[in-house]
Every structure is written in C-alpha cells, then in structure tokens.
Amino acid sequence: MLGLRRIIVTSTSTSTSRLIVPCRSSTILSTKYSSIMMKRYYSSTNNNVSSPVSSSSPIIENSKSDELREFVEDEMKDYQTDQDTDFLEIFLQKHSFEMTKDKNSYTLQKKYKDEQITININPDNIQEPLCLAELPDYTPFLVHVTKPNTELQLRCEYTKDSDEYKIKRIDVKSGNDRSAVHGSLLDERAEDAFINFLRDRGVSSDIPKVIDILLNMRDDREWKKFISVLSTFWK
C-alpha cells in the first residue's frame, strides 16, 4: 500500500521557495486528505496501473483532483487549532512561569527563592525521521536551576502517552568544579528526591502535556504555512 512519507512544495511567487512538511506535522493529514493527495498523484501520472499518461492525455472523466484544491481552499478559510491553550495558560499562571519563543524553541522561566528556574524546549533536539513509524518514542527537555555560585542542569524526557518524566542526566557546576551523573545510576530514593525537587519548582507532572501543546502549536503554524504555499499551485 502506497502512503505519504513527506510533502515538498516549491513556489517562486512567495518568499518561501521550498517547504517540506516535517514528519510530525504530516500527522495533521487525516486519512481522507492523505488519500486526496494520492488520488491527485495517480490521476496525474497514469490512467491505470500499467498505462502511463502523457502530458497530452485527456483529463480522466471521473478524476477527483479538484478535491485537493477545495480542501486547500477550505483550510485557508477555516483551519482552527485544536490545542488546549487554556491548559497552557493555567499552567503558566499556576507556576508563575513566563514563556518566550525563539524560532522553534520555547523557554519557560521563573524565580524561586534565590534560584532561577529555566525550562528549555527545543523541537530541533528531536531528530525527525522520514516516516511516522520511525518517530522516537520520547521527547527531551532541559531544566536549569541556577544560584549565584551553583548551577544544576537536568536532562529529562518522557515517553508517548505518559504523564511522568524521567531524569536522564544531571550536570552540576560550582565555581570551576563540574560533575555529572547518568540518570540510570540513581536509585529509587535519589530519583524520587530529584523529581520532588523539580516539582517544588514548578516542573510538575503536567509538563509533558504542556510540551506536547507547544510542539503541536509549532506544527499548526508549519501546517498553515504549508497550506499557504501549496495554494499558489492553483494561481
């Protein structure tokens, strides 16, 4: 069975000359509209499996290639994100985080006593494969806890459909001294102590859902941009 792995759009009439829908974003394509893409591919390349269509061949009478154009027009007019932005706003207010965005990355920051808490979420740290079956089953993020003379950096990650995260690595810096330990070396008591340490600072069990919302918001923006560039095909 033939399926869509990725879609590339090139346009000379826009500032974005070449746009590739990344693997994560391509999940926005429903089965219905993925099939529309495939119908257009087939109708433009062959009448049947064994007989290719030349550039002078007549249009297939029962072709539904206009279905894609209509879909794109509808998306241009009616596309709405389904992300739970209310949940995100409640989380930020509850834990007193301020959020900033730089290109595709997000930073959450707050003060906690004499500490600076920073959560870095960067989708570029997640290598995008060419097909959905190869998507990594985890999402990483970094937490920095900084005091005047000491800094902790904790690399955390969570798996799909999980509301808990794991600590994968801890780096500590004090003056000129540095040390690190892999999360797998932590026993249950030590891991629980670090997790509770982070939760006291706002890195709660809600953080996986918050990160998923932010990543999906990024995908929504890329999808809208993709549709905008794709629409030039019919102009």
Percentage, residues of the chain above pLDDT 70: 63
Examine the pLDDT at 123 and tell me if it is beyond 80. no
- As a whole number, mean pLDDT of residues 25-54 equals 47
- As a whole number, mean pLDDT of residues 175-204 equals 95
- As a whole number, mean pLDDT of residues 59-73 equals 70
The contacts of residue 195 (CB under 8 Å, 6+ apart) are: 167
- Which runs of consecutive H residues, i.e. helices, occur in 79-145? 85-94
* pTM recorded for the entire structure: 0.68
Q: How many CB atoms lie within 10 A of CB 162?
A: 15
DSSP conformation letters of 60-75: PTT--THHHHHHHHHH
Please report which confidence band the pLDDT of residue 218 belongs to, taking 50, 70 and 90 as the band edges: confident
Distances (CA, A) of 194 to 138, 160, 166, 217: 20, 22, 10, 30
pLDDT digits (tens, 9 = 90+) for 134-155: 555 678 999 999 999 999 999 9
